[in-house]
Chains A and B, each alone.
Chain A
């Protein structure tokens, strides 16, 4: 019987996601689209120098462009998820690609700063929001055993592309001026449309059929459908809320080293090149961390949530150690801690999204990811200004790093309060509560009859045992 397996995954996972085949093509599509979304966002710094010169505005006003873009991407994530639930993921991603490219092409014609906020910030951000969550959810749905590995491979593109894009953007700006460079980037972003075309068209909508059967055009039913597309019911469930809170706390501290490490190294007395090298070294180990952690998690020696907790704790500890290591003035210590920090922060990135289907189930994963992105966006906006404020008050970065590290450790503690945290096997994912519990009982009986009559489908037997025994098994070994 499947109950005796020592493996720690939930048994429901094995029935999903054909590993391999077309899935690898989608991993390539995820690689390209993630690099064109986040890799591009990270390398926009090259343009900011040009904007400051051309529009004669302060650096802070210009930096709002990328903040608006990132905020829009995270804010519109639930919208992207809901549209995928209602319609076709393929159409949503292709539309997102068109919007992202359009935003950049329009930005090349901007005559004032507000135009840039609206085009590069809002329109492109909306496009990016429609791309990222659906792509990640689609890839995760196509893999079960290698889910974390493919996520690690997909997200490693962010680090690699920021290495490649920085010199490329510099070259484009020199050859074509910033307007021409933005025009070409808009064209490059349209490649995401081709990535989206690789997703298979969806046959059936994910909306639960029960909702449609009742009154169609009443306001209440429309609201019900919308809330089911957005998976708003997840907000009422404790495991999801706990996890979202943990990720939000993580985000408060996670970005602080990216923004302040170079400045802190300079303040500790190292030269410009040494400080920049520290950042690059952390970036390289970040890429390794993503792939290695993805591969290691898929070996199934530990539960994903336990691995995530471990990486998060280590990352928090290393963030706190960063200012301490440079106190002694030793460059080796600073590089060492930064390398370790880079590895851990990359490692935890692969796992953060992979844990979501474990908590909410593959069916509600799309909406779950969207809501998660929306809620964690607030933390990102809070964390960096707060650390900057701490630096202004205390005069150095020790306090900022300490607080950031403590937020990360706090998120670990929050994760430990997830239900069934200390068991060896994953609990079953949350079931979507149906409107009518009586129907649930009736349908399960029907299923029982059908599954008994069919001998081809062994899945039915598994589901039968799952329905009957809703409690996780104890560790066998």
Chain B
């Protein structure tokens, strides 16, 4: 090889390598770096956790920092600090979710870091019992807290054994989204549908189960008490009328006094009637 060409190749390669190294360090300088705390698994309710984010390097001036939870900004967390903290006081089930610390810059797009707060699912709201008429639509729902979002399953208690819902009749529809699930049952059947239903939320940390009782009212159900009441009334009236017919011959005299208010110094004709009857009796 010609000695001049070798030197040129070495020069070229060293410049290339140096240039690549420079490029890398420059480009990493363009992206700000954030040191964030690790993901937390909430195990004990009531503990306090602190989420921290430190902006270690940035090449443009920092304006503000704030926190977001599940995609929405948490109010009153805006501050101009580089090191920002968010205190989770007395963690409850709904503390779980995806938290983000966001740094805004004057001349550059915002940067963020994600911290996941995980918790086992806990079903917070569900109706304990649902009463519907037959043929109607029943909607059973369950709502939970926890992260990651659970997988929902619905089961019906059949002779004491929970079984997956049998949709051979095509009347059951399940719709689940994140922390919420609904079971729709159309055209309620009074023989097949009443019973205990269980909604189950499961994620990698645990699972939780809740029970809902479904009762189906028949159209004819109120007729029985009604017939009972009517029978009672008819019996009472019969007793009263019979009692009266029995006492009638005995009380013919007294009845004239009891019937309505006894008149005294009002119309004189009635007075005379009373007097006359007394005289004949």
Contacts and interface: CB of A to CB of B under 8 A. Distances in A.
B221 A176 contact: yes
A18 B271 CA distance: 17
A292 B272 CA distance: 40
B270 A187 contact: no
B258 A22 contact: yes
Residue of A197, A447, A450 ringed by the most chain B CB atoms within 10 A: A197
B258 A362 contact: no
A190 B258 contact: no
A1 interface: no
A181 B133 CA distance: 13
Contacts of A443: 268-269
Interface residues of A, number: 58
A190 to B, nearest CB: 5
A454 B240 contact: no
B258 A18 contact: yes
B260 A141 contact: yes
Interface in B240-275: 240-241, 255-273, 275
A142 B233 CA distance: 25
A463 B265 contact: yes
A186 B225 CA distance: 11
A361 B265 CA distance: 10
Given A188-B229, A208-B267, A446-B268, A141 B261 contact: yes
Contacts of B222: 176, 179-181, 183-184
B260 A89 contact: yes
B217 interface: yes
B262 A194 contact: no
Contacts of B279: 454
Interface string A118-146: 00000000000000000000100110000
A260 interface: no
A177 B258 contact: no
A447 B268 contact: yes
A187 B237 contact: no
Nearest to A84: B260
Interface string B56-98: 0000000000000000000000000000000000000000000
Interface stretch (A198-206, A265-273, A406-414): A198-206
Tell me the dominant secondary structure on chain A's binding face: helix
B267 A203 contact: no
A187 B230 contact: yes
A194 B259 contact: no
A214 B255 CA distance: 30
Contacts of A467: 265
A328 B45 CA distance: 42
B261 A17 contact: yes
A190 B230 contact: yes
B24 interface: no
A450 B240 CA distance: 38
A273 B101 CA distance: 44
Contacts of B260: 89, 138, 141, 202-204, 206
A89 B222 CA distance: 33
B259 to A, nearest CB: 5
Nearest to A364: B266
Nearest to B268: A443
B226 A463 contact: no
Given A177-B217, A209-B267, A184 B229 contact: yes
Most chain B CB atoms below 10 A, which of A142, A184, A460: A184
Interface string B166-209: 00000000000000000000000000000000000000000000
B7 interface: no
Nearest to A94: B237
A426 B270 CA distance: 25
Contact of A16 (B133, B223, B262, B278): B262
A224 interface: no
A473 B236 CA distance: 49
Interface string A408-423: 0000000000000000
A131 to B, nearest CB: 15
B272 A446 contact: yes
Contacts of B255: 200, 203
A102 to B, nearest CB: 13
Given A190-B230, A202-B259, A454-B279, A16 B264 contact: yes
Contacts of A16: 261-262, 264
A456 interface: yes
A458 interface: no
A223 to B, nearest CB: 20
A219 interface: no
B240 to A, nearest CB: 5
Contacts of B217: 175-177, 180
A176 B278 CA distance: 58
A19 interface: no
Nearest to A447: B268
A191 B259 contact: no
B221, B266, B273: residue with the most chain A Cβ atoms closer than 10 Å? B266
B39 interface: no
A450 B275 contact: yes
A463 B266 CA distance: 10
Contacts of B258: 18, 22, 142, 200
A362 B221 CA distance: 48
14 contacts: A17-B262, A174-B131, A176-B222, A198-B240, A201-B259, A203-B260, A209-B267, A362-B261, A447-B272, A450-B275, A457-B275, A460-B275, A462-B264, A467-B265
Pairs A-B, 9 closest by C-beta atoms: A180-B222, A141-B261, A187-B229, A443-B268, A194-B236, A176-B222, A362-B261, A187-B226, A197-B240
Interface of B: 131, 133, 217, 221-223, 225-226, 229-230, 232-233, 236-237, 240-241, 255-273, 275, 278-279
